[in-house]
Chains A and B, each alone.
Chain A
Amino acid sequence: MNSRERVFTHLAGGAVDRLPLMPITMMFAANRIGARYRDYCTDYRVLVEGQMRVAEDFGFDYVNTMSDPAREAADCGAAVEYFDNQPVALVEERALLADKSKLAGLKAPDPAAAPRMHNALKALELFKARLGREKVIEGWIEGPIAEGADLRGINTVMMDFFDDPAFVKDLFGFVVEMELRFALEQIKAGAEVMGIGDAAASLVSPEIYETFVWPYEKRLIEGIHAAGAKARLHICGNTRRLLKAMGTLGADIVDLDSLAPLDEARRQMGPDQVLLGNLNPVTVLRDGAPEDVTSVIGGCHGQAGARFIVGAGCEVPRDTPDANLRALTDYAHGHRP
C-alpha cells in the first residue's frame, strides 16, 4: 500500500496498514533545502523540491502547494510585500477593496495567465511528473472569509458584517467563483485533494459563520467534489464554537488547529468525519521533547478515534527539531487507525 492508496482508502473508510501522515509544512520545507522563502513562494521548482525533500525525509503521505495566503489576492492586483525569509503578506492599508464600489468592476484572474496562480499549477504538474501515483498531491485555495479579508482588509471586513452585510455576501460570492475556477485548474493540473484555508473564520461568532461563511465554504466543497477531488478544510485558530457547523460541510478531511479539542470535534461531527491534527505546533512540536510529541499525538488519536490523520494543529514551524517531527512520523508509521 503506497501513500496515495493509504490516504484514499482511509478516506473511503477502508482498512489501511497505518495512520496517514499529512502535516502542513511550508517554511520548514524551504529551510530543509536551504532555500529563501521568497523563492519558495515564487518559484514552483523550489516549492516542489522542498516538499519532496520533507515528504521523503519524514515519510509524509502527501505534498502540497501552499506557501502563503496572498497568492490569489496578488493576482487580483492587491498590494503585497515580499520578504526574503517569510511569507508574502498583504498590505492592509492599501487593500484592493478599501473602496467597496471597486468590487463591481473586479475581474477574477485567469489561473493559466495570472503569475502566482500559474506558478501553483506548474508546481502541481511537476509533482505529478515526479510522484506519479505514489503520494497524494494536494492543491490549495483560500476560503471565502480568508480571501475576502485579503481583498478588503481583515479589520474592515470584520466590521462589514454589521455595517454592510449585502456587500459581504457579494464579496464572498466573488471569492467563491474565483477560487472554484482556480481549484478546477489545479485539479486538472494534478491535484487530487484541494485544501481550503479559511483562517479568519475562527475570529467570528457561530451566527456570523453560519450566515455568511458556511454557505460559501459549502459551495467550494461541492464544486471540488463535482470536479472529482477530495476537500480538506483548515481553519487556523480556535474553532471550538464552529465545530458542529463545520461538520456538516461535507469536507473529506477537517484539519483542526490545536485550540479545538478533538474529542469535542468527534462528538459534534459524528463518527465518520475524518479529523486531522492537532498538537500545538509551537509549544509541543517545536518547543517540546520527542516524547512529548509522541504522548500528545497519542492523545489526539485517542480522542479522534479511527477516522484520524496525523498532523500538527497548523504549519510545522520552521525551526522544529528533526527529532520532534520524526516522533510525529514514528507515531503515524507505528500505529493503525
Chain B
Amino acid sequence: MPDLQQLYDAVVNGDYKAAHAITERALAEGADPLTLVNQYMVPAMDEVGRRFECSEYFVPELLISARAMKASLELIRPLLVARGDKPVGRVAIGTVKGDLHDIGKNLVASLLEGGGFEVIDLGVNVSPEKFIATIKESQANIVAMSALLTTTMPSMKTTIDALQQAGVRDQVKVLIGGAPITQKYADEIGADGYSESAVGAVALAKKAVAAPVA
C-alpha cells in the first residue's frame, strides 16, 4: 500500500500524475475508495481552499490542484457509484445563458467536487431548459449559477422562474454568484443563497444540503 499522505500532498501540490498513480496503486492494493476521498482528497482540497482564501494560492495553483483531484476521482468515482455510495450532494452548475465566462464557475465546481459533492458541470451559456432537464435526469439537489456580466444576470431570474414553472423549484436549492451579483440581488430574484467567494460557495452548498428543501 502506498503512503496515502502522498495522495494528499499530490493534490495540494497539483501533481496530477502522482495523484493518479498513487490512487491507482492504492485501489489495486485494496484501499477503500471512500477512505481515499474522505481522509485524503477532501482534506487536501480543504487545504487548497484555505490557501486560496488567504492568498497563499491563486487561480493557477487552484486549477492544478483541481486537476490532480480529478485525476484521482476519475478512478474512484466509478467504484463509489457501483457500490451505491452517495455524494454529499449533487450540484448542477453552469454559467447562465448568454454568458461565456467560466473561470469563476470552474473554481467553484472544483472546490465543490473537492468537498465531496457530485458536480454536473453544464459549462457556459446554459439555458433554463438545460438546468431543468439536468435536475430531472440526475436528481440534482443544488443548482449553482454564475454570471460575470450585468447583462446576463437577469438570466438567473429567468432560470429560477423556469424552474418554478417546470415544477422542480422545490426539489433544489438555488445558489448564485459572480462579479456583479450581490446578496440583495439574490434576495430579489428568490435565490436560496449567494456567495462572493469560491470557498464560501462550498460552505453555502453544505449548509443548503443540510437544510430541507422548501
Task: Report the bound CA distance from A37 to B152 in whole Å.
Answer: 13
Task: Report the bound CA distance from A241 to B60 in whole Å.
Answer: 15
Task: Report the bound CA distance from A37 to B182 in whole Å.
Answer: 24
| Contact of A86 with B64 at beta-carbon distance under 8 Å, contacts A158-B59, A241-B55 already known | no
Residues from chain A with a CB closer than 8 A to the CB of B149 are: 86-87
A250 within 8 A of B: no
Which of A6-14, A203-211, A261-269 contacts its partner? A203-211
Residues from chain A with a CB closer than 8 A to the CB of B55 are: 240-241
Q: How many A-B residue pairs have CB under 8 A?
A: 67
Check B151 against A85 for contact (C-beta < 8 Å). Answer: yes
Q: How would residues 96 to 108 of chain B score, 1 for a CB under 8 Å from any chain A CB and 0 otherwise?
A: 0011111100100
Check B103 against A155 for contact (C-beta < 8 Å). Answer: yes
B180 within 8 A of A: yes
Q: What is the interface of chain B mostly: helix, strand, loop, or mixed?
A: loop
Q: How would residues 156 to 198 of chain B score, 1 for a CB under 8 Å from any chain A CB and 0 otherwise?
A: 0000000000000000000000011010100000000000000
**Which A residues, 297 to 320, have Cβ-Cβ distances below 8 Å to chain B?**
317-319
Residues from chain A with a CB closer than 8 A to the CB of B58 are: 203-205, 208
Check A155 against B102 for contact (C-beta < 8 Å). Answer: yes
**Range for the number of chain A residues in contact with chain B:** 20 to 34
**Which A residues, 139 to 186, have Cβ-Cβ distances below 8 Å to chain B?**
154-155, 158-159, 161-162
| Contact of A317 with B100 at beta-carbon distance under 8 Å, contacts A159-B67, A203-B58, A208-B58 already known | no
B61 within 8 A of A: yes
Check B150 against A203 for contact (C-beta < 8 Å). Answer: no
Residues from chain A with a CB closer than 8 A to the CB of B14 are: 162
Task: Report the bound CA distance from A167 to B183 in whole Å.
Answer: 41
| Contact of A86 with B151 at beta-carbon distance under 8 Å, contacts A155-B63, A159-B64, A204-B58 already known | yes
Check B101 against A89 for contact (C-beta < 8 Å). Answer: yes
Task: Report the bound CA distance from A287 to B58 in whole Å.
Answer: 29
| Contact of A205 with B182 at beta-carbon distance under 8 Å, contacts A27-B151, A86-B149 already known | no
Q: How would residues 110 to 131 of chain B score, 1 for a CB under 8 Å from any chain A CB and 0 otherwise?
A: 0000000000000110000000
Check A91 against B67 for contact (C-beta < 8 Å). Answer: no
Check A203 against B151 for contact (C-beta < 8 Å). Answer: no
Q: What is the interface of chain A mostly: helix, strand, loop, or mixed?
A: helix
Check B61 against A205 for contact (C-beta < 8 Å). Answer: yes
Check A158 against B60 for contact (C-beta < 8 Å). Answer: yes
Give which listed residue, B59, B67, B98, B180, contacts A203 with CB less than 8 A.
Answer: B59
Check B182 against A282 for contact (C-beta < 8 Å). Answer: yes
A198 within 8 A of B: no
Task: Report the bound CA distance from A205 to B54 in whole Å.
Answer: 12
A2 within 8 A of B: no
Q: Identify the closest chain A residue to B62 (Cβ).
A: A158
Offer 23 A-B interface pairs, CB within 8 angstroms, sorted by A: A81-B100, A83-B98, A85-B151, A86-B149, A87-B149, A89-B99, A92-B100, A154-B103, A155-B63, A155-B106, A158-B60, A158-B63, A159-B64, A159-B67, A203-B60, A204-B58, A204-B60, A208-B60, A282-B150, A282-B180, A282-B182, A283-B182, A318-B151
Give me 16 other A-B pairs in contact (C-beta within 8 A), A83-B98, A158-B60, A282-B180 excluded. Answer: A27-B150, A86-B98, A86-B149, A89-B99, A90-B100, A154-B103, A158-B63, A159-B60, A159-B64, A204-B58, A205-B57, A208-B60, A241-B55, A282-B182, A287-B182, A318-B151
B→A interface (CB under 8 Å): 14, 55, 57-61, 63-64, 67, 98-103, 106, 123-124, 149-152, 179-180, 182, 184
Considering the complex of A and B, which 5 residue pairs feature the smallest CB-CB distances, nearest first?
A203-B59, A86-B151, A89-B100, A158-B60, A205-B58
